[in-house]
Structure 1
Amino acid sequence: MPLWIAVLAVAGLVVLTVIVGWALRRRENRPRNAGVADLEWLAADERGERATLVQFSTEVCTRCPQVRRMLREIVDGSDGVAVAEVDLTHRAELAARLHILQTPTVFVLDATGAVRSRFAGAPRRDAVAAELDRVIGDPAHV
C-alpha cells in the first residue's frame, strides 16, 4: 500500500473520531426527557417539596465531587428544593433498571417525584439551572 493512502486512511479515522467525540460531548450537557421512574430507591425525606436534584455517582467517579458542589450551589436559597445523592457502587441493579450508563448522572424530579429530565455526564450549571427553573416555574431563583 502506498504511503499516501495510509496517511489518508489515518487522517480519515482521526476526523471521524473527533466528530463522534464532539457529538457525544455535546449530547452530554443536554437534558433528556426521562419519563416516570419507580422511586422506591429515594427516601421520602430526601425529596424536596417543589423539586429534587438527584445525582448518581460511584466511588471512583472523578467528576462527581464538583457536580455535587455545583448542585448544592444551585439549590442554595431555593425553598423546597433538595439535592440527593445515590452511590451506585454497590447498586448495579439500580443503574441497570434506570439505564444509567455513566456517572455522574443527574435527574431533575418535580414535586410529585416524577423524573422531568436527566443529564448523562457532568452537566453545565446553566443547563441544570434552566431545567430546575422550568420544573419549579421560578426563573429568578438562580
Structure 2
Amino acid sequence: MDPVTALVVLGAIVLVAVAIGIVLRRRDGRVRATPAAEAATPASLDLPESAFGAHATLVQFSTEYCTRCPATRRVLGGIARERDGVAHVDVDLTRRPDLTRRFGVLQTPTTLIVDASGAVRARIGGAPRPHDVARELDRLLEDAHA
C-alpha cells in the first residue's frame, strides 16, 4: 500500500473512532425511560423497607473500583436530602453480582429512579447530570401528588 492510501485509511479510522467516542460521551449520564414491567423494591435488593423513600428512591449501582461512584453518591445523596420522601440507596455490585444481570447493569455507576410502588421510572447509565435527575424526580413527585 502506498503512503498516501495508508494515511487516508488511518485518517478515516481516526475519524470513525472520534465519532463513536462523541456519541458514547453524549449518551453517558442521560436519563432514559424504562419498560413499565421493570421494578426495584427493597426486598429485591435485600434492603430494609425503611431504606426506600415514601415517594421516590434513587437506586445507585456501584462497585468498589468505580472512580465516578463516590461523586455520584454525593450528588444523588444531596438531591435526595433536598426533597421530602426521597431516599438514596447505594448497592455495591461487588458484593451482589447477581443484581447485575437482574437489573441489566452494563456500567457503573448506574442509577434507577424508582417511584413509591417500586416501578423503575427512569435509568441513567454513567455519572448522572444533577439537573436531569432533579427534573425527573420533580416530574415523578408532581405525578404522585396529582
**Same structural fold, with TM-score higher than 0.5 when normalized by the shorter chain:** yes
Aligned counterpart for 1:65 among listed residues 62, 70, 92: 70
Structure 2: give runs of 5+ residues left out of the alignment. Answer: none
Partner of 1:4: 4
Q: How does 1:116-131 map to 2 (within 5 A)?
A: 116-131=121-136
Query: How far apart are the structure 1 equivalents of 2:86 and 2:110?
Result: 18
TM-score, normalised to structure 2's length? 0.89
- 2:123, 2:90 → 1: CA distance? 14
Match of 1:96 in 2: 101
Q: What are structure 1's unaligned runs of at least 5 residues?
A: none
Q: Aligned letter for 1:53?
A: L
Q: Which residue identity is paired with 2:78?
A: E
Per-residue CA distance 1:60-94 (angstroms, 9 max, x = gap): 00000000000111122311000001000022221
3-state secondary structure, aligned to 2:33: coil
Map 1:1-142 onto structure 2 (within 5 A).
1-35=1-35, 36-39=38-41, 40-43=44-47, 44-137=49-142
Q: Structure 1 length normalisation: TM-score?
A: 0.91
- Structure-1 separation of matches of 2:4 and 2:85: 63
Number of residues of Structure 1 aligned to a counterpart in Structure 2: 138
CA distance in 1, matches of 2:46, 2:22: 34
Give me the identity figure in percent.
Answer: 47
Question: Structure 1 residue runs of 4+, over 2 Å off?
Answer: none
Letter in 2 for 1:52: T
Q: Distance in 2 between matches of 1:97 and 1:105?
A: 13
State how far apart, in whole Å, the 1-side matches of 2:95 and 2:141 are: 32
